[in-house]
Structure 1
Amino acid sequence: MPQRTLLFVLFDGVQSLDVTGPLEVFNGAETHTPGTYRIRTASLDGGPVRTSSGLTLVPDQALGEVPDPHTLLVPGGQGTRSSDPLLTEWLRTHGPRARRLVSVCTGAILLAEAGLLDGRRVTTHWAYCEQLARDHPAVEVDPDPIYVRDGHVSTSAGVTSGIDLALALVEEDLGRQAALVIARHLVVFLRRPGNQAQFSAQLAAQTAQRDPLREVQQWITEHPAGDLTVEALAARASLSPRHFARAFQAETGMTPGRFVDRVRLEHARRLLEDTGDGIEEISRASGYGTPEAMRRAFVRALGTAPAEYRRRFRPASAH
């Protein structure tokens, strides 16, 4: 197996965990299978950089001294908001030469500014998805997944999702067992798929300000198989259905139906991952009623059927 060179691009204002998280994953892979990776870090002039948290990172060399890498990884951080034109130009010139382009968090902004994401489906930290889409209309921005892989370009959401993406790349290079060993060593989950939402249903929606609406939100999460029609939920909040629907969306940022859909999908995924319950039982417990209704929801949201989801993401020890 040929050795793969990994280059981490450093700059002032970089998010330290965007660098160290993936770096620890790839270093763990090199320890597990020596000769797999050669990891390098570089800044524009080869000098130290100060991270957004105040740490100082000392790169191995200057970007101009580094041979074209197999995998080019661009982290995010405050420094991406006012990037150096020289760094953008370096990425524009050298990015296309890499076999794999990877960004963590707002590192996607740097890749987009260099024109390397045009025509690609990508993601970034949820707080900057709207900005990325607005500033770069040729880029298809998906705000939901924790990471997206489109051909040789891989982008991830905020901070810790860079670890998930790095594990996925290691699994591609060395196999699932190697990635599992590394995940266990780092005490992280291997089974977070890229299409997992950046937020759980409860976090994706804002918490309602009024007590009755907050109580309805909580009731939904605790009773996914209950009667969750707008009429039934409105009655719990002692509001008319129309007033309830308007107030719920105004205070949570999503419609009651969208919130219910997310809660049920999250509940079903958790049961598929953590239990041996049958598909029919899970579909009833999650409020879908029938396996076919659950299958349609999974395909629509995740692009895969429940049985395939379980096969891919349930720990081997649970089978």
Structure 2
Amino acid sequence: MNHHLAILAVPGAQLLDVSGPLDVFAEANRLLNRTVYQLQVMSLEGASIRCSSGVRLMADVTLQDIQQTDTFLIAGAPEARDMQLTARQTARLIELCHESQRFGSICTGALLLAQTGLLSGKKVTTHWACADALVEQVPDAQVEADALYIADGRLRTAAGVTSGLDLALRLVEEDLGRELAQDIAANLVMFFQRPVNQGHFVRKQQLSLGGRSAFQEMQRWALANLAQVNSLDDLAAHMQISTRHLARLFRQHMDLQAGNWLENARIDQARKLLEAGSMPLKAIPAACGYRSNDVLRRAFVKVTGMTPSMYRKMFLKT
């Protein structure tokens, strides 16, 4: 087997989106003591690619010159949402995807791949911060904002940055089996299958709390008194307004359901307490305003993909 794999690195590419997956495939070659994966870095044009870090990559081949690939991936770039491929580049990408056994993207590379139209009707993922942008770009795609990687037919997409390594491991597992993929994960000191999804890493955006409006003051009060906040009625009472009017304010100022904001606030508080490691697990639910350990556990798993005890084990300071 000789599998030709190429990663397109556009100007401003995130270096880890390129180097991370390549190291996974290179480790497969090393462990097998033969070249299973023939690896190439591809540029849109020219021999040099300046990455977002300022580091320059030397391309092995350009988009127009490459002859064929078995697997073709597009790496992400922080400014990918503002990049517009030319008609010629888009046409060549479409040809390359059709010719490849597998094709896909890493991180925000999905926003570039979307310009080909090949994500239409597909189940895909990208970096959580760009999921909404991908939905706008491809309304009929099923964008899974929490997923680390997704396979849909010949299409493979990975979420933010380091999840490119997760995707590469899955591809090795497809090609060469689980045992080799597990050996690679062990050698690279990474999870073979991470016990998290993207929701674990999301830090929710919220209205700045530095202002003096009554709405912002209520938020500051709620965050400081989550243990005493039993429901949205308490937030409304603090502002001396109805719960219905409170819901309107959240929609108007944050485009968010009031209940979702309160749930996010409780989970963020739980994360901080778990990361600090000083409070007993059994005391954390009450400190965040949850009625019981079971209620916190269900909410925490829904948002992060892991239990509070698993989270503490991963983030406990040593």
TM-score of the two chains, using structure 2 as the length reference: 0.69
Aligned position for 1:67 = 68
What is the CA distance between 1:133 and its match in structure 2?
A: 2.4
Aligned position for 1:41 = 41
What is the CA distance between 1:88 and its match in structure 2?
A: 1.9
The residue correspondences of 1:83-94 to structure 2 (distance < 5 A) are 83-94=85-96
**SS in structure 2 opposite 1:65?**
coil
Rate the CA distance shift 1:101–1:263 in 2: closer, same or farther, 3 A.
farther
Q: Take 2:101 and 2:224, find their aligned partners in 1: how far apart are those partners?
A: 46
* Residue type of the alignment partner of 1:73: L
What is the CA distance between 1:83 and its match in structure 2?
A: 0.3
Rate the CA distance shift 1:18–1:75 in 2: closer, same or farther, 3 A.
farther
* Residue type of the alignment partner of 1:134: E
Number of aligned residues: 301
The residue correspondences of 1:98-113 to structure 2 (distance < 5 A) are 98-113=100-115
Aligned position for 1:182 = 188
Q: Which moved more, 1:214-223 or 1:34-43?
A: 214-223
Q: Take 1:87 and 1:167, find their aligned partners in 2: how far apart are those partners?
A: 28
Q: Which runs of 5+ in 2 are unaligned?
A: 174-179
Aligned position for 1:15 = 13
* Residue type of the alignment partner of 1:7: A
Q: Take 1:3 and 1:268, find their aligned partners in 2: how far apart are those partners?
A: 49
Deviations 1:134-189 (A, max 9, x none): 332321234x43634133534345xxx221232353266344564354256xxx9x
**SS in structure 1 opposite 2:185?**
helix
**SS in structure 2 opposite 1:87?**
helix
Rate the CA distance shift 1:106–1:291 in 2: closer, same or farther, 3 A.
same
**Does the CA-based 8 Å contact 1:268-1:282 persist in structure 2?**
yes
Structure 2 residue 196 is matched with structure 1 residue 193: yes
* Residue type of the alignment partner of 1:57: L
Q: Once superposed, what is the RMSD of the aligned Cα atoms?
A: 4.4
What is the CA distance between 1:241 and its match in structure 2?
A: 4.0
Rate the CA distance shift 1:290–1:235 in 2: closer, same or farther, 3 A.
same
* Residue type of the alignment partner of 2:166: L
Q: Take 1:224 and 1:180, find their aligned partners in 2: how far apart are those partners?
A: 41
Structure 2 residue 148 is matched with structure 1 residue 147: yes
What is the CA distance between 1:111 and its match in structure 2?
A: 1.9
Rate the CA distance shift 1:306–1:51 in 2: closer, same or farther, 3 A.
closer
Deviations 1:203-229 (A, max 9, x none): x22323534655554555565544242
* Residue type of the alignment partner of 1:194: N
**Does the CA-based 8 Å contact 1:123-1:129 persist in structure 2?**
yes
Aligned position for 1:231 = 233
Q: Which runs of 5+ in 1 are unaligned?
A: none
Rate the CA distance shift 1:231–1:111 in 2: closer, same or farther, 3 A.
same
Deviations 1:87-126 (A, max 9, x none): 3222222224444433233321232222322222223345
**Does the CA-based 8 Å contact 1:18-1:105 persist in structure 2?**
no
Q: Take 1:251 and 1:316, find their aligned partners in 2: how far apart are those partners?
A: 33
Aligned position for 2:258 = 256
Q: Give me the identity figure in percent.
A: 24
Rate the CA distance shift 1:290–1:269 in 2: closer, same or farther, 3 A.
same
**Does the CA-based 8 Å contact 1:209-1:251 persist in structure 2?**
no
Aligned position for 1:166 = 165
Deviations 1:26-72 (A, max 9, x none): 367458735564421123556334446665432012344343233x2
